[in-house]
Structure 1
Amino acid sequence: MGLIHRLFQREEPEQSYAPLEGGSERPDGERIHDDEQREYSRTDYYVFLLLGIAMLWAWNMFLAAAPYFQRRFDSDERLLRNFQSAELAVSTAGSLGSMIVLTKLQANASYPKRITSSLILNIVVFTLLAISTRAFLGVSAGAYFTFLMLVVFSASLATSLCQNGVFAYVASFGREEYTQGIMTGQGIAGVLPCIAQIVSVLSVPPKQTQEGAPQESSKSAFIYFLTATVISALTLVAFVYLLSKPRAREQLSSTLDDEEGDFGHGPATRKSIPMMTLCRKLYWLAGAVFLTFAITMFYPVFTQKILSVRDPATSSRLFQPTVFIPLGFLFWNIGDLIGRVIPGIPGLTLTARPRLLFTLAICRLAFIPLYLLCNIGGKGAVIGSDFFYLFILQVLFGISNGYIGSNCMMGFVEWVDPEEREAAGGFMSLSLVAGLTAGSFLSFFAASV
């Protein structure tokens, strides 16, 4: 009880939650030496940007591919209604379990190896998923659902490895610019898959069912899923190049735990930082990132249900479900990308105000009821406007997610000691994934709407 009291008592936080002057001082006022903060490199920034893209590309592909999966499950009403929530639950639960294990294994972690393994796993997983769109098309909806859940779970393991490895590895550089690059890359990973989905659908003539309703073809889905394999392969090449650079080799020598002692160094053994220690220093930021992504998990379920208010019989193909649903994801992710870029502008960051970030995260709950005003399942909309849905609701909800999430993930290095940065990066990633997991299970309530 004493520990809980010390954690929440109000007299202590101002001292224990004091920033290290942008990472330039220790808590006792001692200056951090220049060699603890690596020289900025634009090339390194772009590699971390690409890693951010690869990190969430798989996640966003599953969301934007909702029309294709709807086609595969249209023979089973129960699966059709719940597959999106099942995807979110399996993915986030797998990520959370993996992140807990990876966080506990921080002492002898090889973060570059985790990143490399995640990219290779993604290449294998999405190659199989692409093949599934051209082969075994006659399998039952239940069998394909089982396959999809296995693929989603495998992709979640890859995402966890990448997320834990990247945020921990970049934290050791001590540069917020690189973290902002990762967050921007994650935003781009939301935009590009939606564009790829829309283009792949529009580039292939619509396939008609017996009822005459247009459906997304397997050919467009094959092209769409294959892009994930290409992105992961390109990112793997870029990351290997980063590790070959002299500055990165110096950084790698302090993070690898190879038994043979790479680059002439012995095994790297870190001091294990208790999670309670990190929680005491980062509870406002960790709480803010948890709430932000928990609330965000409601948007995928609503987005794959909301249709255009235009008459599908007379509207252009852009407003048909096979395109309009990815379009909804695209607008949300454009907002998310804008929100992730804003903290990179001097004077527009809130990394020094963690309590305000926590308050803003709670305020995002106001967006959820607004979805009920839209055309859910074609049943009619209270506000009959696609402009309101796309430009107001989706864009603003996305901006709030990107802005708050980026500030939290950029700012944590200011509140911990240099030797705690890598562990803090893993801890913040765990908080983020925990929020995604909590939100994904709560999203089942939205699925029943």
Structure 2
Amino acid sequence: MTQVTRNHDSRSSFDRAQNERDSHFQPSTLHSGRSTAQPKASFSRISLIMSRIVDSVKKSLLGRESQSYQSIPNGDRHSAGEADASRDPISELEQPQKVDMFEYGVFVLLGVAMLWSWNMFMACATYFQGRFAENQFILTYFQSMILGVSTIVNLAVMIYLSYRQSSANYPYRICISLVLNCVTFTILALSTIMFRVSAVPYLVFTLFSVFVAAASTGFSQNGVFAFVNTFGGIYTQAIMTGQGVAGVLPAIAQIISVLLVPSGTGEAGEDGASASPKSAFLYFMTATFVSGLCLCLFLVLLSRHGITIKGQTQPLFTSETDSEDIGAHKSVSLVLLSKKLSYPAFAIWLSFCLTMVFPVFTQAIVSTCPDGSGRAFQPDVFIPMAFLLWNLGDLSGRMACGYDRIVLRNPKMLVAVAALRALFIPLYMMCNVAGKGAAINSDMFYWLVQLGFGFTNGWLGTSAMVVAPDYVDDDEKEACGGFMGLCLVMGLATGSVMSFFV
């Protein structure tokens, strides 16, 4: 400041001398106006520049000082004052740019594995039709039985795990889920070529496989969504993308596995009306491959961060009751969450409740084209293609919510749009259900219905999940995600029960 004062005094003396010289050569009118205004303006500009330089030096020093506290975990976030305020905006700007592509890919694959089993049982309807062809009752209701067992078991597991959050070991739950998937899908694949039993025993075996796969999905949903919160929002989006991909890939795998096997080798033995055991074997083994690959990559991800399944000293797979070291989690009342999230929760429940009619119609609707129109119009390809179109629409709806303007944020509109989705049911009934004829004799109409119903499901479901955290406090957002997931599964369970009456 002493140096600044000296400069100021010397500059002022220089300006006074200059003014005295200028007064001898300029008219009095100019001397009284412009001659005094110019030095004052010049002095103001110089002072402003000097003050800015001093301020920038102070800010840079304070910025370096505040950065030294960023790596301290669990510190007092509000005692730092100005240092904390200068740190948070920087973190918010830099965080979206720090994306590890390996970790992003692992979370995408976790999202795929999470819903693969459910979509697998849906897309492989033609194989099960061949296995249950001898029993008309099972043939008619097996799809609803699979849906009912899957969603009810999934819901029960999620409710059970929601009461064990205080000592939850999420990496352990994820690994258990992937191991169960590998075992279940391998046995299911072997059943296609080794188990030669009647319809009733095979139905019991299939429903038991669905039971285990649904429990595995519950462990995965509970573990993955909680675990990903420690990595940031971009990785949560990766899981949602993976879930959308999980609907597309099983249908593609089913179509490819069917086309790799010559027609006429199915169990039904007529016109390739059902998928062959060999194509079903290849299809189920793809699920084993996906789950096994996901498990290996997830273990690599844990090792990169120094995380073990049971803490730092525990073995890989032990009882979950010994996992207190993972840390406690805040418990929020479900009643409180239901009050704060009444509109988004009801919207996602209603939407997925209505969604459950699509598997029942999809496995029953056949092409309007004649039998000789080509392999693509045979049921063993046409039905998986219909599942593929629905899931493409669902994936498109999820991805569209990446644009903020497309997200449906009005809570009442969420409920209204969810209720309007019921209009798709009469549209399905206008198609060629069970080959009885279609009101609109066009496969294109049916495909548009599938795309539209899938798009609205992905769009509405993702919108509800995106806007839900806006209605709760910051320390309730983790519980909010679990509650919305619970409402989603409850919608699936309710819809699966209602599908018996469609």
TM band (smaller chain): 0.7 to 0.9
Question: 1:238 — aligned with what?
Answer: 297
Are the equivalent residues in 1 in contact too, given 2:167–2:321 (CA < 8 A)?
no
Provide closer, same or farther for how the CA distance between residues 302 and 362 of structure 1 changes in structure 2, counting only shifts above 3 A.
Answer: same
The one-letter amino acid paired with 1:118 is S
Question: Please, which of 183, 186, 192 is the counterpart of residue 133 of structure 1?
Answer: 192
Q: CA deviation at 1:185?
A: 1.1
Task: Give the drift of 1:244.
Answer: 2.8
Structure 1 residues without counterparts, runs of 5 or longer? 1-29
| Post-superposition offset of 1:429 | 1.2
Asked whether the equivalents of residues 87 and 152 of structure 1 are also in contact (C-alpha less than 8 Å), the reply is yes
- Other-structure match for 2:473: 417
Partner residue in 1 for 2:241: 184
Equivalents in 2 of 1:210, 1:164: separation in Å? 40
Distance in 2 separating the partners of 1:210 and 1:293: 33
Greater shift after overlay, 234-243 or 69-78? 234-243
Aligned pairs for 1:26-425 (under 5 A) are 39-40=95-96, 41-43=99-101, 44-137=103-196, 139-173=197-231, 175=233, 177-208=234-265, 212-214=270-272, 215-246=274-305, 259=322, 266=325, 268-312=327-371, 314-350=372-408, 352-390=409-447, 392-425=448-481
Match of 1:22 in 2: none
Structure 1 counterpart of 2:487? 431
Deviation at 1:52, TM superposition (A): 1.1
The letter of the residue matching 2:380 is T
Question: Cα gap change, 1:274/1:285 in structure 2, threshold over 3 Å: closer, same or farther?
Answer: same
What CA distance in whole angstroms lies between the structure 2 residues aligned with 1:267 and 1:193? 35
Q: Name which one, 1 or 2, has greater alpha-carbon Rg.
A: 2
- Would you identify which runs of 4 or more consecutive aligned residues in structure 1 move more than 4 Å? 30-38, 208-211, 257-261
- Contact 2:165–2:328, Cα closer than 8 Å, also in 1: no
SS in 1 for 2:95: coil
Q: Deviations over 1:54-84 (max 9, x none)?
A: 1111100100000000000001001000000
Percentage of matched positions with identical amino acids: 48
Stretches of structure 2 that go unaligned for 5 or more consecutive residues are 1-83, 313-319
Structure with higher helix content = 2
Tell me the secondary structure at the aligned position of residue 207 of structure 1. coil
TM-score with structure 2 setting the length: 0.76
User: How far off is 1:361 after superposition?
Assistant: 1.2
**Are 1:133 and 1:222, in contact at CA under 8 Å, matched by a contact in 2?**
yes
Per the alignment, do residues 202 and 287 of structure 1 end up closer, same or farther by CA in structure 2, a change over 3 Å counting?
same
* Displacement after TM superposition at 1:394 (Å): 0.2
How far residue 271 of structure 1 moved from its aligned partner, in angstroms, is 2.6
**What is the CA–CA distance in structure 1 between the aligned matches of 2:389 and 2:162, rounded to whole Å?**
34
Superposed CA RMSD in Å reads: 2.6
Whole-angstrom distance in 2 between the partners of 1:56 and 1:127: 17
For the structure 1 residues 417 and 34, does the alpha-carbon distance in structure 2 shift closer, same or farther, using more than 3 Å as the test? farther
Whether the aligned pair in 2 keeps the contact of 1:68 and 1:221 (CA below 8 Å) is yes
State whether residues 130 and 226 of structure 1, in contact with CA within 8 Å, keep that contact through their aligned partners in structure 2: yes
State how far apart, in whole Å, the 2-side matches of 1:285 and 1:226 are.
38
> Whose relative contact order is higher, 1 or 2, with alpha carbons under 8 Å and at least 6 apart?
1
Provide Cα deviations, 1:189-243, integer angstroms capped at 9, x if missing partner.
1111101101110110113568743242111100000000011111112222222
User: In the TM superposition, what is the alpha-carbon distance from 1:409 to its structure 2 partner?
Assistant: 2.2
Range that drifts further, 338-347 or 225-234: 338-347
CA distance in 2, matches of 1:164, 1:147: 26
**In the aligned structure 1, how far is the partner of 2:147 from the partner of 2:269?**
31
- C-alpha distance 346-142 of structure 1, shift in aligned 2 (>3 A): same
1:380 and 1:157 map into 2 onto residues whose CA distance is 39
**Change over 3 Å in CA distance of 1:198–1:88 after alignment to 2:** same
CA distance in 1, matches of 2:382, 2:100: 37
* 1:346 CA drift (Å): 3.9
1:333-372 Cα shifts (integer Å, max 9, x gaps): 110110111111243223x433322221111111111011
CA contact (8 A) 2:130 2:268 kept: no
- Whole-Å Cα distance in 2 between the matches of residues 68 and 318 of structure 1? 16
Q: In 2, Cα distance between the equivalents of 1:413 and 1:34? A: 20
- Residues 270 and 144 of structure 1, relative CA distance in 2, 3 Å threshold: same
Q: Residue 205 of structure 1 aligns to a residue in which SS?
A: coil
Instruction: Look up the SS of the partner of 2:193 in the other structure.
Output: coil
Q: 405-414 or 88-97, which moves further after superposition?
A: 405-414
Partner Cα distance (1:212, 1:111) in 2: 48
Q: Aligned in 2, Cα 1:112/1:240: closer, same or farther, shift over 3 Å?
A: same
Letter in 2 for 1:201: V
Contact kept, 8 Å, 1:294 with 1:435, in 2: the verdict is yes
Amino acid paired to 2:293: L
Letter in 2 for 1:168: A
What SS does the corresponding residue of 1:150 show, helix, strand or coil? helix
